[in-house]
Structure 1
Amino acid sequence: MFITLLVCTFAIAIATALPLWHNPHWSVRSFDFPRLQLAFLAALLLIVQLLLLDLSRPASWGLVIITGLSLAAQLWWILPYTAIWPKEVKDARAEDPERTLTILTSNVLTPNRNAPALLKLVEQHQPDILVTLESDQWWEEQLAALEKEMPYTIKCPLDNLYGMHVFSRLPLHESEVCFLIEEKVPSMHALVELRSGDCVRVHFVHPAPPSPTENDESTERDAELVIVGRSVADSDEPVIVTGDLNDVAWSPTTRLFRKVSGLLDPRVGRGFYSTFHADYWPLRWPLDHLFHSDHFTLVSITRLPSIGSDHFPFLTRVKLAPVRGQDQEPLRPDGEDHSRAEDIVRDQSASKHDVPEPGE
């Protein structure tokens, strides 16, 4: 029994410590994702140790301490995404349709053919903007009916799992499709005009993940997030960045993006809102995101029902309220963060100047 618990303890400890290594290889970065699951396993293992080990032996206490530290480390990363943490984004005080922006982000999964389910959600929730990821020419044709009510569009149908479409009820200005880091991975950038006449700079992104079937390392994904973050940090205008980041909310890379961009995460203090994997509830984590500048407060954030994809759609309503939002506090970068960001973009020969700046 002791040997079994020893092996389990060191497995949990390694899985906890490995992501602290900044190695970008997928085999290391993949441990950024299942922190909630690892916290659950560490808590279960700790209970088993306390019940079954001979606690009069120093070696037994050694295992208990290692497991306890592993659990504490996992909780440090994930607790901000629970209701016990202070909210990073304030709740909107009152409805104001003229200054409210509703965005529905949906990774549709290219081979998925349940377009009617997504159309039904659009009809039900009436988003101002629909962003689809992994949408190819078939999906473009199925969603064409939306253009009657959402006539402002940006289209980039691809059959490589990185197609992207935007449908908007609100006017889009200076729209642009870019391939910031990888030649087959697009992003979209525009200025959306609210009903009030105010304009918001929006960036829709879907960088490729580190995985054995795509990129061996996370450097391409990380570089795209860093240069977009650096670009929006220079803006004094309202900004939103949304999409499937192929990264979890609590990872070092997403935290780095939040630090260099100065954007806020409405999940903090509210919940995980895990959007992937839709079919396997024990293996879920938040991959689809919306970050915004302090010009906004939050009306609502919702994970919508499955449409047959491996991702749940993600619906966010924010209200432009710069006076109320001005004292909201984002994460602050330090010297090490700036140095790490510089190393990431240098590795990919990328620059924030590669990112369009609509409205600037």
Structure 2
Amino acid sequence: MTVTIPALLLFLSIQATGKTGNSAILSGLQNLGGPFKLVGGLFVLVGVGLVVNWVINYCLDTVAIKIYQKRRQLETADKLLTEIDRLPLSYPLKIQLKWVVLHNETQKLTELQFLGRHGVKVGVCGLILLSILGYLGQFFYLLDLTSHFKLQYLIGGIIGFFYFAFKRRKSWIIVSLICIVLNLAEIAPWYWPNPAIATPVQSSIPLKVLQSNLLFQNKQYEKLLSFVRQETPDIAAFMEVKTEWKEQLETLRDILPYAVLKGDIALYSSLPLTRVYENSLDSQKRGVIAQISFPEKVLSIVVAHTNIPLSKNLFKKRNQQLEAIADYVAPLNNPTLVVGDFNISLWSPIYKKFVKNSNLKNARSGFGIMPTWPSLNPLLSIPIDHCFVNREIQVLNTRKGPNIGSDHLPLVTDLGVLKE
């Protein structure tokens, strides 16, 4: 099993590449390694092997102890001690078995006692497993769901590190570091300075974009309306817009006079929407596509709200929606803005494929991961609301907005549309 589990992970990763031969093995290792590519893949396989080896040894040791606890009730201590000496077991395990034989009172380890002794070990191993399974998200929706909680896995690994450092468990400190490195490698790059983020150039058109999933059940209208008026965006995109919200958003017409509503999506603008593509995305690929004409450029805007991938069918539909958006925006040479609730995080392999195929970049880059959902439970919060731009648009700033009564936090992004 120590070899089989890492081999199975590598096999699944190779299958995802669609390649054969030596190039498939290299690509599979690079997929597992994430940002660390080939070296990271080797590191992951070795780490998984070590963890599996510990789990197997621990389980076998536990079974052996249970067996000798039972046999001690039926056989003499001398006989069992002689037998233990002859067994090809490790010295520490032999000591444990002899202790069990010499203390014939069987001690039952309760679930609570087990968690007290080994809960942190099991927890850190579980976090490592979940961290790795996320790289295989393209195969199954449950695997994809494990990719979204890198921040939580990182925090868990740090807690484990300090716990084992306090206990002076050197081997488990290393295991905790594996968990930390796996997830920090995915999170840290979002905080690194981005060459695309700089002071606005003279030949750019300033553009402020506000986006928010309103939540159908939310009735705290004034919070959102006040926030929009305070920010005075040039473009505002809203998702989960029902009848009551449509009426409330119409009060923004004095600052955002141009609007298009389709399904549960509303796009408002202070600039004329020169063209709206009503039938560009079908009912399974919910979205609004529009254009704004500047004197020098034409800005394409896509507002999306993809399906929540909580089943195999919805997972497939969400991925199809992302593919449709990528197919539409990739050939565009004019400035392109894509915003919405994508129900996918920065670390999903499907997200990474979308960004690559669409030639877009996330406005978060350089500003941090900024989790937006669920707003009511920050400990489980993940970034699933996104603002994407192509090379014709410069990102100047992006930030989260306040709680407006929804389960999502708004995003506000300051852009510069390049003239040349």
Same fold (TM over 0.5): yes
Structure-1 residue corresponding to 2:345: 248
1:111 aligned to 2:212? no
Whole-Å Cα distance in 2 between the matches of residues 77 and 179 of structure 1?
Answer: 34
2:395 pairs, out of 298, 318, 332, with 298
Q: Which moved more, 1:222-231 or 1:120-129?
A: 222-231
Q: What residue is the counterpart of 1:130 in the other structure?
A: 236
Q: Pick which of 183-192 and 165-174 moved more.
A: 183-192
The reply on whether 1:71 has 2:180 as its aligned counterpart is yes
Contact 1:26 1:216 in 2 (8 A): no
2:160 pairs with 1:45? yes
Selected match of 1:148 from 245, 251, 254: 254
- 1:223 maps to 2:286: no
2:290 matched to 1:175? no
**TM-score normalised to the size of structure 1?**
0.78
Cα contact 2:151–2:187 (8 A) shared by 1:
yes
Post-superposition Cα deviations, 1:317-338, rounded to whole Å, max 9, x if no partner, equal 1111265xxxxxxxxxxxxxxx
How many residues align? The count is: 305
Highest CA radius of gyration, 1 or 2? 2
Which letter does structure 1 place at the counterpart of 2:180? L
Find the aligned partners of 1:275 and 1:22 in 2 and give their Cα distance: 21
Counterpart position of 1:186: 286
State whether structure 2 residue 316 is matched by structure 1 residue 201.
Answer: no
Aligned residue type for 2:167: L
1:217 is displaced (CA, Å) by: 5.1
Amino acid of the residue matched to residue 189 of structure 1? I
Q: Secondary structure at the match of 2:129?
A: helix
Checking the alignment, whether the CA contact within 8 Å between 2:291 and 2:299 is kept in structure 1 is yes
Amino acid at match of 1:271: G
Q: Render the CA deviation track for 1:10-39: whole Å, top value 9, x for unaligned.
A: 211211111122345332221121110110
Which 10-residue stretch deviates more, 22-31 or 280-289? Answer: 22-31
Instruction: Give the Cα–Cα distance (whole angstroms) in 2 for the partners of residues 216 and 293 of structure 1.
Output: 30
Equivalent residue, structure 1, for 2:95: none
Partner AA of 2:178 in structure 1: L
1:19 is matched by which residue type in structure 2?
G
Tell me the amino acid that sits aligned with residue 133 of structure 2. L
- Give the Å deviation of 1:86: 2.9
Q: Is the 8 A contact 1:88 1:266 kept in 2?
A: no
1:92–1:298 contact (8 Å) kept in structure 2? no
The secondary structure found in structure 1 opposite 2:383 is: coil
> 201-210 or 43-52, which moves further after superposition?
43-52
Between the aligned partners of 1:314 and 1:137, the Cα distance in structure 2 is: 23
Aligned match of 2:358: 261
Q: For residue 8 of structure 1, report the CA deviation from its aligned partner.
A: 1.8
Determine the C-alpha separation between the residues in 2 that align with 1:164 and 1:24.
Answer: 30
User: Deviations along 1:42-98, whole A, 9 cap, x unmatched?
Assistant: 11112212322544xxxxx2x44333222211111111222xx131522233578x8
Contact 1:190 1:203 in 2 (8 A): yes
More helix by share: 2
Structure 1 CA distance, aligned partners of 2:175 and 2:221? 48
Is structure 2 residue 121 aligned with structure 1 residue 6?
yes
Deviation digits for residues 88-132 of structure 1 (CA, Å, limit 9, x no counterpart):
522233578x81221110100011011111111121111111111
Residue in 2 that maps onto 1:330: none
2:274–2:291 CA contact under 8 A, matched in 1: yes
Residue ranges of structure 2 left out of the alignment (5+ in a row): 1-115
- Of residues 266, 273, 276, the one that matches 1:165 is 266
- Contact 2:307–2:343 (CA<8 Å) still a contact in 1? yes
Distance in structure 2 (CA, Å) of the matches to 1:7 and 1:284: 23
Report 1 or 2 for greater relative contact order, CA contacts < 8 Å, sequence distance ≥ 6: 1
Percent identical pairs in the alignment equals: 24
CA distance in 2 between partners of 1:95 and 1:48 (Å): 53
Q: 1:187 offset after TM fit, Å?
A: 0.3
CA distance in 2 between counterparts of 1:29 and 1:123 reads 38
Unaligned runs of 5+ in 1: 56-60, 158-162, 324-360
Q: Is the 8 A contact 1:178 1:186 kept in 2?
A: no
2:332 maps to what in 1?
Answer: 235
In structure 2, the partner of 1:288 is 385
Q: Matches of 2:222 and 2:138 in 1, distance apart?
A: 42
2:408 counterpart residue number: 311
Q: Measured at CA, do residues 307 and 279 of structure 1 come closer, stay the same or move farther in structure 2, by a change above 3 Å? A: same
